[in-house]
Structure 1
Amino acid sequence: MFGYTFYWSIVWDKLPDLLEGAKATLALTVLSMVIGTLLALGLTLLRRQEKGLGYRLATGWVEVARNTPALFQIYMIYFGLGALGLHFSSYVAMLLALSFNNAGYLAEIFRGGLQIIPKQQLTAARSLGISSFGAYTHVVFPQLFRIVYFPYVNQLNWALLNSSLGMIIGLRELTGATQAAQSESFRTFEFFIVAAVMYFVMSKLIEGGARLTFWRVFKG
């Protein structure tokens, strides 16, 4: 097409590098979601107070995370904090930025889920002598994760795709590995078509695994 000749053998030679990049992408995605989830739960509880310094800080976090580009957040952590003397490796900076972004979106997802759960359940648990922490971990949060399960999976997929921005700060995740391979061979179409297929496959595996898990855990 348009006189372009595809040379897939070049991609085959670099496939181990692309697979290593895909592994780094998945590791970064999962770790940032774990950290983001823990942070989001804390932000959600602070926002339920609806007053005080903790509420204002949590609200500010959510607003910044959800209303500024992820690229801006990465630059601020990698370059901005670096200018202040706080230097992070590409991987750590991307992990921090992605966790920050995930926490903001997940906190809003969790807030919406909590509004569905009757507050009387928390009051009833406390009246039985269960601590506030125990009431949340054993009564509220199990219901919450069932309610927000699929929005949570959507955020997981979003984190997977956002991880590609790590390329701009020199991270060798899948997009970074693809760019490096392309810069050596100048075979743009071949490498980025394969990378796109790999992202598509990872995304669909996440969706399929999530549906299977939901059925086994919540419907079984």
Structure 2
Amino acid sequence: MFNYSFHWNQAFKALPQMLDGALVTLQIAILSMIIGMALAIALTLFRLSGNRILGGLATGWVEIARNTPALFQIYMAHFGLGSFGIHLSPFTSLLVGIAFNNAGYLAENFRGALKAIPETQTRAARSLGMSPMQAFRYVVMPQMLRIAFLPATNQMVWAILMTSLGVTVGMNTDLAGVTQALNAVSFRTFEFFALAAVIYYVIAKVVTLAARLFAARMFRY
């Protein structure tokens, strides 16, 4: 027989703590996207450079990021680097792992966006006296970012959800970590994790809606 008694009052009393954890979750996700986007642009430039070593490095990064579990990437940042004497905190390990993953996916998004930009754009910029780097920076990259913006929004949502993997490396200040700690004390697993799931859902929907509104306002042409 089903005889579980719900005690939602315990979960709602802990809501301020969970919201504090949600702010840490957002902090990690935003930082990982900023770092990941910078790395993805660098990887894109490596692919365009014509240098076989840089191109191979970029391709290898993308292949590893896209074809191995994000959990493994976080483990390598936390435990793998520790084998070489590089010890990162749970926060830093989680940030490094997610940023690595973001860079791989965003680099592939940028590659797809570049294919949508006619080569005549670069030729026109070069005919005006721009160097290859100037043509990419002032002509190609703005269009690339515009095309890749909404797909990057999906990666932002994925980054928010990936932060929950931090509990596996001892992260206890984000939403998943706080929820885990509260559950360990109260044993009200369903209530706490159901409430955490709602918070994750709301954050993801708010980010998606905000991105669509921003895109509609900024990319009307």
Give the Å deviation of 1:180: 0.4
CA RMSD of aligned residues (A): 1.3
C-alpha separation between the residues in 2 aligned to 1:127 and 1:27?
43
- State the match for 1:42 in structure 2: 42
Q: Equivalences for 1:20-59 in 2 at 5 Å? A: 20-59=20-59
Structure 2 length-normalised TM: 0.96
Aligned to 2:119: 119
Bigger shift: residues 156-165 or 134-143: 134-143
Secondary structure, aligned partner of 2:129? coil
Return the letter of the residue paired with 1:126: R
1:64 aligns with 2:70: no
Structure 1 residues 1-220: aligned runs within 5 Å: 2-171=2-171, 172-219=173-220
Shift of 1:106: 0.5
Q: Supply the AA of the counterpart residue of 1:12.
A: F
Q: Kindly report structure 1 stretches of 4+ aligned residues shifted beyond 4 Å.
A: none
Identity %: 52
Could you tell me how far 1:8 is from its partner in structure 2? 1.4
How far does residue 49 in structure 1 lie from its aligned partner after superposition? 3.5
Write the letter of the residue equivalent to 2:136: Y
Q: Which runs of 5+ in 2 are unaligned?
A: none
Matched positions, count = 220
- Per-residue displacement from partner, 1:118-151 (whole Å, max 9, x unpaired)? 1221122122122333322221111112212221
**C-alpha distance in 1, partners of 2:54/2:145?**
23
1:51 shift after superposition: 4.4
Which residues of structure 1 form unaligned runs of 5+? Answer: none
